[in-house]
Structure 1
Amino acid sequence: MAQRQRIRPTQQRAVAMRRTLLDAALHLLEERGAERLTTTAIVERAHVSTGTFYRYFNDKAEIISALRDEAVAAVDRDLRDAVVRALDLDLDDAVREIVTTLVDGFERHGPVVLAMVDAQPGGSNANVLPEIERDLFQLAAVIPRRHLPDVPPDRLEALVFMTMGVVVATALRIALFRPPGADRAALVDVATSMLVAGLRS
């Protein structure tokens, strides 16, 4: 039996309650991770009844999905701003701007992104953020097109397609899976060099 889709509230008090539940879930994800997140823990953290929770969400998967949507939208907004900043930079600095923006976004939304990674059979090797990769392909493709005008369009399209997927995966690894003691800035530099070399290949 399909679950009933909850209606997003529009009244200020209901919007505030939904936010309270989302924030409680987010704090618990930070403290415990997705596997140990329960609706009971969420209602206890939010100081509300179980019935209140179920007025807004069907289950913990739905609340994680709502947090995922918020994280994707926030990273997308940051990415759009980064592309605008990168337009007047040379290719190396433009790529570094995109990589740094994605790393920042994945770190800022780390608990939610990790919950998405944990939910995928392929874990960190799965494409957990296809929307980000799709939007990156559409937005950031303007940068190599601007810097590599002599590359034939079909070749450039292939380069951009491959590079943008690598950008997302690399930024995710730097943000959430880098080895203890690894220097974040140095990893961003390595990723930038690899990606620029790929685009110029």
Structure 2
Amino acid sequence: MAERQRRSPRQARAGATVDAILEAALQLLEAEGPARFNTNRIAERAGVSIGTLYQYFGGRQDILGALAERRAAAVRDHIAATVIAQPTLGSVRTIVRALMASFQGEPETRRAMMDALIERGGEGALLAHHQAFLAAIEGRAKLSVELTPETAFVLTHAAIGLLRAAAAEPGLGLDPQALEDELVRLMESYISALAERQGRGG
């Protein structure tokens, strides 16, 4: 690795500090929810001073946004790897489960993280992940159907849109396994319809 590509000790320490803050924030958020989520308690749990925390983050919402961004990126990369490894209908359930895992947690926590993600990246936040996903699989995935920008948009946004709605409406009492089954049915049906249409040359 070239010298300029190596991370300096200072950069390494900074990266470790950011990781510690985000890990502490996630633990606090999952344990106690958004109500008690504040920078003082995050700094205390991370073992850093409040001044150090503010060197890297602008405040509570900034930390929430960074957490949401990391989770979204991890899920996106996992799905891209799945599509590359299993470019058939068999990968659909794996993809749906990965998406559902990104929406796990208490309703208040899920809403807080989603709101922070949108606040951080605007309405283009999902578009950025959509484009990054397509770039990750381009030339590497041998898909059973040909994806146009329109069909890729439908596939990547349909399940996400429904899961966002489910997170926003916890009073519906949706059963996670039944919801997973229905989302798999939806995506498989759409992919099958695409394959049939493309097989006819339509």
Calculate the TM-score normalised by the size of structure 1.
Answer: 0.65
Distance 2:93 2:25 in 1: 33
- For 1:44, the aligned partner's letter is E
Distance 1:136 1:193 in 2: 22
Q: Which secondary structure does the structure 2 equivalent of 1:63 belong to?
A: helix
Distance 2:43 2:58 in 1: 13
Retained in 1: the 8 A contact 2:79–2:95? yes
Distance 1:94 1:141 in 2: 17
Indicate yes or no: 2:101 matched with 1:104.
Answer: yes
Change in Cα spacing, 1:45 to 1:103, as seen in structure 2 (3 Å) is same
Change in Cα spacing, 1:148 to 1:18, as seen in structure 2 (3 Å) is closer
Aligned match of 2:128: 131
Aligned match of 2:4: none
Change in Cα spacing, 1:136 to 1:192, as seen in structure 2 (3 Å) is farther
Report the CA distance between 1:183 and its aligned residue.
4.1
Distance 2:42 2:68 in 1: 16
Calculate the TM-score normalised by the size of structure 2.
Answer: 0.65
| Equivalent residues in 2 for 1:110-149, closer than 5 Å | 113-119=110-116, 129-136=126-133, 146-148=143-145
Aligned match of 2:78: 78
Gaps of at least 5 residues in structure 1 are 1-8
Distance 2:117 2:57 in 1: 22
- For 1:60, the aligned partner's letter is R
Change in Cα spacing, 1:177 to 1:85, as seen in structure 2 (3 Å) is farther
Aligned match of 2:197: none
Change in Cα spacing, 1:49 to 1:97, as seen in structure 2 (3 Å) is closer
- For 1:107, the aligned partner's letter is Q
Aligned match of 2:181: 189
Distance 1:187 1:11 in 2: 42
Aligned match of 1:17: 17
Distance 1:52 1:62 in 2: 14
Report the CA distance between 1:187 and its aligned residue.
1.9
Change in Cα spacing, 1:106 to 1:179, as seen in structure 2 (3 Å) is same
Aligned match of 2:155: 163
Gaps of at least 5 residues in structure 2 are 1-9, 195-202
Aligned match of 2:92: 95
Distance 1:101 1:168 in 2: 11
Q: Which secondary structure does the structure 1 equivalent of 2:11 belong to?
A: coil
CA RMSD in angstroms, aligned pairs only: 3.8
Change in Cα spacing, 1:96 to 1:173, as seen in structure 2 (3 Å) is farther
- For 2:101, the aligned partner's letter is D
Retained in 2: the 8 A contact 1:103–1:174? no
Higher deviation after alignment, 130-139 or 22-31: 130-139
- Identity percentage of aligned residues: 28
Aligned match of 1:68: 68
Number of residue equivalences: 179
- For 2:93, the aligned partner's letter is R
